[in-house]
Amino acid sequence: MDSPFNFSRIPSLRWRLLLLVSIALLLILAFASVQSYQRARHEVQELMDGQLAKTAQLLLAKAVEGEDQLADLPARLAGIRGLHSRRNQLTLEYQVGRPDGAVLVRSANAPATPLSGALGYANVMDRGERWRSLILESADRRYRVQVAESIPKRDREALEIAVKTVQPLVFALPLALLAIYFSIRRGLKPLDDLASEVATRSSDNLTPLAGRNIPREAQPLVAAINRVLYRLGHSLENERRFTADAAHELRTPLAAARIQAQVALLSTDADQRKHALTQALAGLDRATRLVEQMLRLARLDPLAQLSQPQAMNLAELVQRVAAGVRDTAPQAWIVLDLAEDIAPVQGDSDLLEVALRNLIDNAIRYSPAGSEIVVALQTVERHVLLSVRDNGPGVPAQELPRLMERFYRGASVSAEGSGLGLTIVSRIAELHGAVLELTNRDGGGFEARLRW
């Protein structure tokens, strides 16, 4: 049989968390990478400017010591050994001269910008190439030094250093995602254990789930499942008890009817045969009433609320039920005591008719013949009361709380009945937002009332 749930289309909490956390991590790493890259480029540019300043200071100090030491400076620098050239190696170009623009010495590729320009850093163009230039002047204002670097090479060097700064973050991303995946798996393991525990349970195991190792966020789910298990266990127990009690209650009238039928078959006396058949029919009638009550209660039990409640006039309902009882039980003496201006109630008229008829039938069954049955409808302290009073013997005080139990009929009851009537009335009252109250009257007799 196909499962009613298509799990392939149900999103996984694990993968949803992994996706959301991964996206958040990627955004954070992207922001951090951009910031690190920009910061690294800025720091490298400042470091290169500092290198220009130190070189310019050394050259200026050399010029102040004596111009004769500058004559062969390019040749001596070119003859230095031990340096390994790189593709993007930065080279400092220089020229040394006087403030009037006269050049004493210069490197081969130095930009041909006049030394008479403004002191300090500047970006200059020479032969179609951009240069970062620094011009310094000696304290006695006799000499000037210009040191310059190619800006494109500076940018490439800064980019390389910045990329190397960001690379560890990029390489760490797969490891971070892997760590997040295993962390999420580890964090959701209690939920997997819970699912496994529920899946491996047998259908008759309704004990509450243990919530000791369940995360706090899942505790409400476990509590809700336990409530469902409790209600399900309670319902199943009620069904078992109801089935057992029904089987017990049906066994007696059916057995009696069978015995009486056998007596009628074996009897040769007409009167005895008639009496046996009458008793058999009475047993079958009792079994029929019991089955009807059981079926009615079985329909009421699953209901959580009324499907389509409507406003009802209780006075009209009482009059209609009383008229029906008088037609079927003309020996009953029913008195109506109906107050005026009773507020309508919301409910199901058919169910309330069943409840009121059960109360009246009980009153007739347990009262002496010809006694008065009073059906009253009134308002007391803003509560609507529908009561049925009789002049019967009443019920022992210790048995009152048990009268609404299924199949309970009292220890000293001799009248026929199934023991389900008050149970049905109580359930109907509950569906209508009312309460069934049972009490013995002070002057003798019994009273059952519905209070809204």
Strands 103-106 and 372-380: unpaired
The whole-angstrom separation of Cα 12 and Cα 178 is 18
Output the pLDDT for position 1. 44
The whole-angstrom separation of Cα 295 and Cα 300 is 9
Say if residues 62 and 94 touch (Cβ distance below 8 Å). no
Q: Encoding tokens for residue 316?
A: 């009209």
How far is C-alpha 65 from the geometric centre of its chain's CA atoms?
83
The whole-angstrom separation of Cα 285 and Cα 291 is 10
The string of pLDDT tens digits covering residues 363-385 is 887 777 777 888 888 888 888 88
Output the pLDDT for position 7. 46
Amino acid at 154: R
Compute the residue count for the chain: 452
Q: Encoding tokens for residue 218?
A: 């899942």
CATH class held by domain 14-73+89-176: alpha beta
Q: Encoding tokens for residue 13?
A: 């909490």
- The model scores a pTM over 0.75: no
Burial class (CB in 10 A: 0-12, 13-18, 19+), 369: exposed
Sequence-separated (6 or more) residues with CB below 8 Å from residue 42: none
CATH of 310-451, one of 3.40.50.720, 3.20.20.140, 3.30.565.10, 3.40.50.300: 3.30.565.10
Is 390 strand, coil or helix? coil
Give the chain's residues under pLDDT 50.
1, 3-5, 7, 88, 414-415, 417
The whole-angstrom separation of Cα 147 and Cα 40 is 23
The whole-angstrom separation of Cα 240 and Cα 254 is 21
Strands (DSSP E) found in 127-235: 129-137, 144-150
Amino acid at 446: F
Sequence-separated (6 or more) residues with CB below 8 Å from residue 364: 325, 329, 332, 373, 390
